[in-house]
């Protein structure tokens, strides 16, 4: 361990974040390694080590012969200050080597509010921020993750982006990098070659042009760049990598348990949900494979809980058989089984009683909107009757608490829709009174609202976000009409959602804004300790960026969007049709009921998904 680090660790919170050495980490002999990669997560250790994608990529890349992939996380504020005071560069956990010694730095970005943290991590490593200032090929700095479906806000900082599921693509990029390094290629030559790999977006090979009104005229590909970059997916999900021998953290993390991924994608078509669109097509794992993976992961890790992961776990068709098989192993060993991502329209008391045999977890539903009209607009496909029936079943089964999640500011929302949330919460309270066999313990209903963020590659990508003032007006309206004492109302602050909308819908002009924010102390902005709306507004004034232009402005259907060069598999025509149907309150069926022809199945060789 570096002596400077030894001096620092006793002076910072949670020093175990920074030392590595965990059970299950992968150590390789540097003499046997042809290429070294740092897998960088722009948030703290507890968040990054809870990320399933991070674990999968770590195992996948280390399975490549000659590649050693190590982990890097963002230091907390106290450690960041100490590192700068001691001039200690950011290092990787496995070897303790500074990032400047690596061939490639790959950032996994799932949330736009992490962008300024990327800049801080690069600067802590002593690596120039801008791609054009890194003239040599090594280190290559690239990014992947769901936030990269609009790469333009960070285009100046990354050499390339991998679009789609990284385990299907990162290895090809690293193999080309190894060959380019060994043969002495220039960075320019490498990037032109990398752009030929399906799923790779090289931002320096595309030039944006703007109209006088500030909207995009075009994002023009330079010679040799593809017209569109289509995402890559794992086709054989059944046999794809799942890290059964994953690292067991030596300090507490957010999700301290085994996470078993049931399937990728979602059969539903909620029109606000970016994940539901960009992870299409649906691909399942078999019960037999999941049972094998779950047991192996529990045996290796010693965890006392396993959770079933997906965008909508209750949509897994063989869920009863899977739960029974896992409980056969878990129950005698006192291991808990949890099932998040439930839907009110297919909630099963039978399933819940099975998974709660060891320990009972909370009950959470996401109606998203307060009235049936608005739920039809967003294609939620959940009725009030579905919710109340599920709550009645749960209350009769002994549950006395439920959490309900909603969004405010959805397209076409009215005050009547807002008040519908309070009315629905009251009906849940009444449902408990009618169905609870024992009311002595009382009832807890928690209603939470967040501000709708229009996201790229969804039917609502053309919508404007409501202003912060309007969002707070609706919060006040709802709060004043929450009458039941059993109901607690929490709301998300509008400032973070506003900046998230700016970054989600931004173009390349956002890059200088991000640097200004970072230079003024913006870092770990997904945490309240690191975020300042005043800092954003001051930076916007200095850089001439109109934040409302990006967040609150509705787009015309024929407007050029910053992410138009990125193909996530769902046809633009499908998104437009879904948007039109939302205006009419017309529901679209889920993928199992009928194929809506979104186009994502074309990414599979057989042209058919598991929906």
Distance between CA atoms of residues 249 and 45, nearest Å: 9
Helix (H), strand (E), coil (C) string for 324-363: HHHHHHHHHHCCEEECCCCCCCCCCHHHHHHHCCCCCCCC
pLDDT digits (tens, 9 = 90+) for 560-592: 999 999 999 999 999 999 999 999 999 999 888
- Tell me if the bond preceding 139 is cis, omega within 30° of 0: yes
pLDDT band at 141 (very low <50, low <70, confident <90, very high): very high
| Global confidence as pTM | 0.95
Predicted pLDDT at 584? 95
Q: Which two tokens stand for residue 555?
A: 């787009």
Summarised one tens digit per residue, pLDDT across range 434-460 is 998 888 788 999 999 999 999 999 999
Q: Which CATH entry fits the domain spanning 3-230: 3.30.413.10, 3.40.50.2300, 3.90.45.10, 3.40.50.280? A: 3.40.50.280
Contact 44, 236 (CB under 8 A): no
What is the pLDDT, as a whole number, of residue 189? 97
- Which pair of structure tokens corresponds to residue 161? 């982006």
Residue with tokens 């348990």: 257
Confidence (pLDDT) at 355: 63
Q: Is the pLDDT of residue 520 over 70?
A: yes
Residue 348's pLDDT is what? 65
- 84-93, 318-327, 370-379, 512-521: which has the minimum mean pLDDT? 318-327
β-pairing verdict for 216-221 and 206-210: antiparallel
User: Rounded to the nearest 10 degrees, what angle do helices 468-480 and 494-504 cross at?
Assistant: 140
| Domain boundaries along the sequence of the chain | 3-230, 235-360
With pLDDT > 90 as the criterion, what percentage of the chain qualifies?
85
Mean of the pLDDT values across residues 31-49? 97
Residue 312 pLDDT = 87
Q: Look up residue 407 and give its two tokens.
A: 């969004």
**Residue 427: pLDDT band with limits 50, 70, 90:** very high
Give the pLDDT score at 608.
75
Q: SS3 sequence, 407-432?
A: EECCCCCCHHHHHHHHHHHHHHHHHH
Listing DSSP states for 12-26 in one string gives SS-GGGGT---BT--
Residue 437 is given by DSSP the state: S
pLDDT at 396: 87
Contact 68, 62 (CB under 8 A): yes
Largest Cα span, the chain: 75
Q: Of the given ranges (22-26, 190-194, 357-361), which has the lowest mean pLDDT?
A: 357-361
The radius of gyration of the chain's CA atoms, rounded to the nearest angstrom, is 24
Q: 217-248 burial by CB neighbour count: b if 16+ within 10 A, else e? A: eebebeeebbeebbbbbbbebeebebbbebbb
The sign one gets for the Cα dihedral 287, 292, 295, 300 is: negative
In whole numbers, what is the pLDDT of the chain averaged over residues?
A: 94
Confidence of residue 4 (pLDDT cuts 50, 70, 90): confident
Dump pLDDT digits (tens) for 226-249.
999 999 999 999 999 999 999 999
Contacting residues for 524 by C-beta, under 8 A, at least 6 apart = 43, 44, 74, 76, 77, 117, 530
Give the CA distances from residue 23 to residues 46, 50, 75, in Å, rounded to whole numbers and listed in that order. Answer: 16, 15, 21
pLDDT given at position 346: 63
Q: Is the pLDDT of residue 358 over 60?
A: no
SS (H, E, C) 78-139: HHHHHHHHHCCCCECCCCCCEHHHCCEEEEECCCHHHHHHHHHHHHHCCCCCCHHHCCCCCC
Assigned fold of 235-360: Transcription Regulator spoIIAA (3.30.750)
Instruction: Please tell me the predicted confidence (pLDDT) of residue 393.
Output: 86
Angle at 339 between CA 334 and CA 340, to 5 degrees: 135
Q: Confidence class of residue 361 from pLDDT cuts 50, 70 and 90? A: low
Nearest alpha-carbon partner for 496 in 465, 474, 464, 520: 465
């Amino acid at each position: 361990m570096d002596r400077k680090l030894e001096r620092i660790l006793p002076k910072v919170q949670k020093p175990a974040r920074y030392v590595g050495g965990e059970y299950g980490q992968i150590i390789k002999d540097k003499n046997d390694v042809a290429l070294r990669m740092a897998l960088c997560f722009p948030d703290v250790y507890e968040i990054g080590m809870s990320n399933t994608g991070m674990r999968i990529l770590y195992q996948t890349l280390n399975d490549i012969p000659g590649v050693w992939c190590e982990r890097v996380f963002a230091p907390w504020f106290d450690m960041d200050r100490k590192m700068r005071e001691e001039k200690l560069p950011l290092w990787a956990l496995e070897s303790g080597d500074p990032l400047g010694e690596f061939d490639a730095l790959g950032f996994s970005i799932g949330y736009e509010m992490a962008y300024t943290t990327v800049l801080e991590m690069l600067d802590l490593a002593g690596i120039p921020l801008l791609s054009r200032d890194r003239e040599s090929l090594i280190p290559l700095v690239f990014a992947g993750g769901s936030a990269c479906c609009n790469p333009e806000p960070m285009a100046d900082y990354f050499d390339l982006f991998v679009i789609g599921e990284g385990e299907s693509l990162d290895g090809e990029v690293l193999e080309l990098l190894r060959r380019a390094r060994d043969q002495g290629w220039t960075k320019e030559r490498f990037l032109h070659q990398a752009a030929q790999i399906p799923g790779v977006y090289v931002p320096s090979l595309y030039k944006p042009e703007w109209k006088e009104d500030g909207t995009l005229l075009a994002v023009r590909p330079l010679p040799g760049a593809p017209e569109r970059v289509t995402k890559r997916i794992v086709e054989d999900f059944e046999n794809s990598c799942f890290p059964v021998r994953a690292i067991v953290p030596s300090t507490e993390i957010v999700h301290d348990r085994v996470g078993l991924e049931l399937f990728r994608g979602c059969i539903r078509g909620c029109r606000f949900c970016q994940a539901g669109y960009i992870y299409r097509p649906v691909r399942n794992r078999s019960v037999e494979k999941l049972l094998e993976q779950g047991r192996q992961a529990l045996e290796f890790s010693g965890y006392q809980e396993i959770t079933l992961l997906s965008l909508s776990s209750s949509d897994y068709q063989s869920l009863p058989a899977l739960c029974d098989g896992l409980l056969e192993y878990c129950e005698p060993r006192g291991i808990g089984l949890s099932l998040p991502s439930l839907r009110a329209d297919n909630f099963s008391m039978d399933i819940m009683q099975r998974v709660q045999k060891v320990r009972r977890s909370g009950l959470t539903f996401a109606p998203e909107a307060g009235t049936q009209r608005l739920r039809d607009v967003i294609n939620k496909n959940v009725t009030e009757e579905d919710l109340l029936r599920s709550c009645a079943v749960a209350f009769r089964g002994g549950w006395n608490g439920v959490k309900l999640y909603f969004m405010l500011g959805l397209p076409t929302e009215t005050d009547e829709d807002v008040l519908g949330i309070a009315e629905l919460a009251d009906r849940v309270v009444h449902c408990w009174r009618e169905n609870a066999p024992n009311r002595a313990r009382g009832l807890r209903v928690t209603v939470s609202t967040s501000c709708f963020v229009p996201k790229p590659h969804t039917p609502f990508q053309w919508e404007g976000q409501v202003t912060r003032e309007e969002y707070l007006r609706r919060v006040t309206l709802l709060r004043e009409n929450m009458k039941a004492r059993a109901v607690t109302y929490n709301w998300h602050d509008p400032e973070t959602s506003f900046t998230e909308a700016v970054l989600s819908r931004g173009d390349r002009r956002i890059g200088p804004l991000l640097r200004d924010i970072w230079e003024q102390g913006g870092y770990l902005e997904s945490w309240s300790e690191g975020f300042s709306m005043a800092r954003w507004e001051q930076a916007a004034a200095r850089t001439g960026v109109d934040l409302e232009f990006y967040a609150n402005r509705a787009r015309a259907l024929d407007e050029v969007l910053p992410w138009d060069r990125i193909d996530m598999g769902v046809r633009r025509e499908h998104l437009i049709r879904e948007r039109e149907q939302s205006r009419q309150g017309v529901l679209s069926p889920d993928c199992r009921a009928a194929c809506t022809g979104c186009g994502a199945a074309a990414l599979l060789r057989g042209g058919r998904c598991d929906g």
